[in-house]
Chain A
């Protein structure tokens, strides 16, 4: 298996040009910043100039002195100062403007990723820069056995299939897997007529009894001393929040030692896209259709992970496939917690077929759902309480997310305002649970009623348009 490398990712939509990354880099490198944020072609947008650590680096090819080389271990294009003859051919060979001559001293400077903990990423206040460790995941799990056959019959772009394969690749063979009726068994994992698509023990529980059946499996194995088996569910939202709720709630209350993963595609997609208790307000579904009188679902979604927090489950987390490294971290903690108590992982899973999202836009929908706070990513343990694993501050408007999803195509301004208000309300509640009282609301609470200034509000960002290499 080839090695994949971690990298610094840049999201221009989140960058406001504040320049903190450049300051941080300059401080760490005690000189000129290796990263440059520059005004982009689109008005008000910014772009980044930073070494991509290319797989076929042109700078290395043009270097006549052998001073530049691709490091196979960490993927970084290394610069050897003692070999460099300062010809600067490399700076003209790079298409990204990412290797340059230092205005101070004139020698070559380029990003070395600070040994895996880049200062620029830590300094970015808007999360426009992210340390993408997906390469590490590939290196850790890429050669692990896929627990499903290659030909599962999921729809093109199915996010649930992606979740199934990753989760079970991580967990491996020493497991018992429940997949209650829905897309997950329906795509062939449990199988038809004696054939199965799964390599671990797998079964259809009833739609209504997943957590209970698993609890019985676990109790017996614990009793006979086989305590290392991961006893787990990959369940849809319908069987979790609706008719199977009693079993989930009961198992959580009793602290049954199981790993319950809810793959939330916001409805009964396998049976033809009917609404569930997890379907968000406004959604078109086949039972909340759009017509002259009704315009999609008229109720808000049940927030199952927060209900699990109220059960004080041993571990509760939300995750998104747009952030796989985070998903894997949470999966590790969820597995560990399942040997001690009820462990609940809620993974949001856009359904290209049922949501009317193009297959190649599913991950983008995942990402926008998080960036708009429509989906919040957090984790909870009774000991540590609730904490955000991805900041809900500076969200994009929820309409940016909604317009990528076909099932929201009909939404009018009032409906969008309703969703935005509910998203804000949800985040405020989660922040209170996380012990984060926002500066604005704290100040508001402290200020006299007639105060016209919102003291403590975040000042508008500075625009460092003059920052250039």
Chain B
């Protein structure tokens, strides 16, 4: 491993925003090549990366390219040559990146890209929301959603550990909410460089496919055709991709556990259950909204209502069994989304939870709450209303779904 990037030992605790926390998480993971292109609300993240590299805190090639399409493309090349790679994007940048983005998991490139989630144009908007990340949930990237600045910083090394695992070999999006996490400032304890180095070990990102004159091969030749060996080869590739995704569930759990042992910070790897032991109704949340939701749950508990919460950290692969188990005993569920599913007129997380619950022997009623679009705040009051609606649902009342939380905000 290269020598630079040794971080100063006397400033391990920082008060920083989520974008800087992501940049530190990336720097500590020692990527070889970092590609950057600015987009609100991600811009300061790539500025931090450029600054770290300029100051010698990070020994990476900085590729400040002409657009997100090339951001991911240069990383394809660098990864196939053998490098560890990192970038970050958001909304329109992700849309512009889509062509190589779609190709990345098929090439089994274990890269890490932060998504600073944002609502996507149009209606024209540059503020937080998760429509960008939710729109690409079927592309084959692993997606982990963070709740706090500290979790962002820690989740990036964890993401590399998962991505580069031989049973996985898939790209990971570490998602954090635009505005609320990207610009929100909090205390972050930086892990020691040696701890991250020992955690990640030696990288080997192109053992399966490489562009190296010492190991000449054709990378990604055509497959398929009308029948016979062509399509069956394609099927094996696709099936392998799905197997990698499935294997990632256990690898994600193990990586979080390993990280916890080394740093003392044990993050819930797939889902977090909050006050679920005796809960009769539950909220399901994802990302930074969870803090306010937990406050609302605590308030409801003080009023004697048995409310719990399940936060989703890993959304792809979807932890269906864990979700079903966590929600198996409640009488009603309210799922809060920061994005919409146009095809089903609900939130995308709602639809996933709905599908996961089909495994249960009993039918649990659900309601979809959609809030926090276009930078809107989902306050404890919004969550209190959501809890009340869910309790009404548990009581057998009709609740019209979806509920648009911020529709009448003044």
> Inside 8 A of B217's CB, which chain A residues have their CB?
196, 201
Q: Is B73 an interface residue (CB 8 A)?
A: yes
Contact B77 A191 (CB under 8 A): no
B83 at the interface (CB under 8 A from A): yes
Assembled-state Cα–Cα distance A193/B236 (Å):
11
A216 adjacent to B77 (CB under 8 Å): yes
Instruction: Tell me, yes or no, whether B74 is within 8 Å of chain A by CB.
Output: yes
A205, B211: Cα distance in complex, Å: 12
Contact present for A191 and B221 (CB under 8 Å):
yes
Cα of A393 to Cα of B12 in the assembled complex, Å: 71
Choose among A173, A190, A213, A216 the residue that contacts B213 (Cβ–Cβ < 8 A).
A173
Interface contact A208-B99, CB-CB below 8 Å: yes
By a CB distance below 8 angstroms, the chain B residues around A219 are: 33, 61, 63, 74, 77-78
B380 in the interface, Cβ–Cβ < 8 Å?
no
1/0 per residue, CB under 8 A from A, across B230-249: the answer is 10010000000000000000
Proximity bits, A223-249, B CB within 8 Å = 1, else 0: 110000100000000000000001101
Chain B residue contacts of A224, Cβ below 8 A: 32, 82
| Contact A216 B66, beta carbon cutoff 8 Å | no
Contact of B77 among A174, A220, A246 (CB under 8 A): A220
Given contacts A191-B221, A215-B74, contact A203 B80 (CB under 8 A): yes
**Complexed CA–CA distance, A37 and B330 (Å):** 103
**Does any Cβ of B come within 8 Å of A217's Cβ?**
yes
Q: A203-B80, A216-B77 are in contact. Are A193 and B222 (CB under 8 A)?
A: yes
The verdict on B65 contacting chain A, using a C-beta distance below 8 Å, is yes
Rounded to whole Å, the gap between the CB of B341 and the closest CB of chain A is 29
Contact partner, B74, options A198, A212, A253, Cβ 8 Å:
A212
Q: B74 contacts A213, CB within 8 Å? A: yes
Whether A212 pairs with B219 at a CB distance below 8 angstroms is no
Q: Please pick, from A173, A174, A202, A209, the residue contacting B69 in the complex, using a CB distance under 8 A.
A: A209
In the complex, which residues of chain B have a beta carbon less than 8 angstroms from the beta carbon of A96?
A: none
- In the complex, whether B291 has a CB less than 8 A from a CB of chain A is no
**C-alpha spacing A451/B78, complex, angstroms:** 64
B77 touches A175 (CB 8 A): no
**B32 lies within 8 A of A217 (CB):** no
Contact of A214 with B by CB under 8 A:
yes
With A202-B219, A247-B70 known to touch, is A217 a contact of B77 (CB < 8 Å)? Answer: yes
Tell me, yes or no, whether A199 is within 8 Å of chain B by CB.
yes
B100 sits at the interface (CB 8 A): yes
B76 within 8 A of A: yes
Interface centre among A173, A193, A204 (most CB of B within 10 A): A193
Proximity string of chain B (59-87) to chain A, C-beta cutoff 8 Å, 1 when within and 0 when not: 00101111101100111111111110100
Query: How many residues on the B side are at the interface (Cβ–Cβ under 8 A)?
Result: 43
B229 is an interface residue with CB less than 8 A from chain A: yes
B103 interface residue (CB < 8 Å to A): yes
Whether A151 is near chain B, meaning CB under 8 Å from some CB there, is no
The answer to whether the Cβ of A116 comes within 8 Å of any Cβ in the partner chain is: no
Chain A residue with minimal CB distance to B210?
A201
Which chain B residues border A174 with CB–CB below 8 Å? Answer: 213
Q: Which residue of B lies closest to A196 (CB)?
A: B218
* Most B Cβ at <10 Å: residue of A176, A218, A219, A253: A219
Q: A176-B211, A216-B76 are in contact. Are A250 and B65 (CB under 8 A)?
A: yes
Q: Does B212 contact A (CB under 8 A)?
A: yes
What residue of chain A has the Cβ atom nearest to residue B212's Cβ? A201
* A42: interface (CB < 8 Å): no
> Are A220 and B65 in contact, with the CB atoms below 8 A?
no
Contact A217 B221 (CB under 8 A): no
Q: Which residue of A220, A224, A229 has the most chain B CB atoms within 10 A of its CB atom? A: A220
Give the contact-size bracket for chain A.
Answer: 35 or more
A contact residues around B65 at 8 Å (CB)? 212, 215, 250, 254
Contacts of A176 in B (CB 8 A): 81, 211-213
Q: Please report which residues of chain A, range 162-213, place their CB below 8 angstroms from some CB of chain B when the two chains form the complex.
A: 173-176, 185, 190-196, 198-206, 208-209, 212-213
Given A173-B216, A175-B213, A220-B78, A191-B222 contact (CB < 8 Å): yes
CB-CB nearest in chain A for B66:
A250
A203 to B222, CA, bound (A): 10
Check if A223 sits within 8 Å of B99, measured CB to CB.
Answer: no
Residues of chain A contacted by B345 (CB below 8 angstroms): none
User: Given A193-B230, A229-B213: A213 and B73 within 8 A (CB)?
Assistant: yes
With a CB–CB cut-off of 8 A, which chain A residues contact B77? 212-220
Q: Does B223 contact A (CB under 8 A)?
A: yes
Check if B33 sits within 8 Å of A201, measured CB to CB.
Answer: no
Q: Is the CB of A206 within 8 A of B221?
A: no
Interface presence of B303 (CB below 8 A): no
Known: A174-B213, A194-B233, A208-B99. A217 touches B81 (CB 8 A): yes
B374-388 vs A: 1/0 string, CB under 8 Å? 000000000000000
Contact A246 B221 (CB under 8 A): no
User: Is A221 in contact with chain B by the CB < 8 A criterion?
Assistant: yes
Residues of chain A with a CB closer than 8 A to B216's CB: 173, 199-202
> Is A249 touching B66 in the complex (CB atoms < 8 A)?
yes
Q: How far is the CA of A207 from the CA of B2 in the complex (A)?
A: 34
Beta-carbon contact of B221 and A190 below 8 Å = yes
B70 CB contact (under 8 Å) in A209, A217, A221: A209
A212→B61 CA distance, assembly (Å): 14
Q: Which of B79, B103, B212 lies in contact with A206, CB distance below 8 A? A: B103
- B81 CB contacts on chain A under 8 angstroms: 176, 216-217, 220-221
Query: B202 on the interface (CB 8 Å rule)?
Result: no
- Whether B32 pairs with A215 at a CB distance below 8 angstroms is no
Would B218 and A190 count as touching, CB distance under 8 A? Answer: yes
In the bound assembly, the distance between CA atoms of A214 and B83 in angstroms comes to 13
Interchain CB contact (< 8 A) of A201 among B83, B103, B219, B230: B219
Q: A221 vs B214: C-alpha distance in the bound complex, in angstroms?
A: 12
Give Cα A216–Cα B65 distance, bound, in whole angstroms. Answer: 11
Q: Which residues of A contact B55 (CB under 8 A)?
A: none
Q: Within the assembled complex, what's the spacing in Å between the Cα atoms of A356 and B311?
A: 64
Tell which of A196, A203, A249 has the most Cβ of chain B within 10 Å: A203
In angstroms, Cα B371 to Cα A213, docked, is: 39
Q: Which residues of B contact A217 (CB under 8 A)?
A: 77-78, 80-81, 211
CB pair A250–B70 under 8 Å, yes or no, is yes
Known: A212-B74, A220-B33. A202 touches B218 (CB 8 A): yes
Among candidates B63, B69, B220, residue contacting A203 with C-beta atoms closer than 8 Å: B220
CB pair A206–B99 under 8 Å, yes or no, is yes
CB-CB contacts below 8 Å: B195-212 with A? 210-212
- B78: chain A residues at CB < 8 Å are 216-217, 219-220
Those of A268-305 within 8 Å (CB) of chain B = none
Instruction: Given A203-B219, A216-B83, output 18 extra A-B contacts at Cβ < 8 Å.
Output: A174-B213, A190-B222, A192-B225, A194-B223, A195-B221, A203-B211, A208-B99, A213-B80, A214-B77, A215-B70, A215-B74, A216-B75, A217-B81, A217-B211, A219-B74, A220-B78, A229-B213, A246-B70
11 contacts between A and B (CB under 8 A): A201-B212, A201-B217, A203-B220, A209-B73, A209-B100, A213-B77, A216-B85, A223-B83, A246-B69, A247-B69, A249-B66
Give the 3 A-B CB pairs with smallest separation, nearest first.
A216-B77, A250-B66, A196-B218
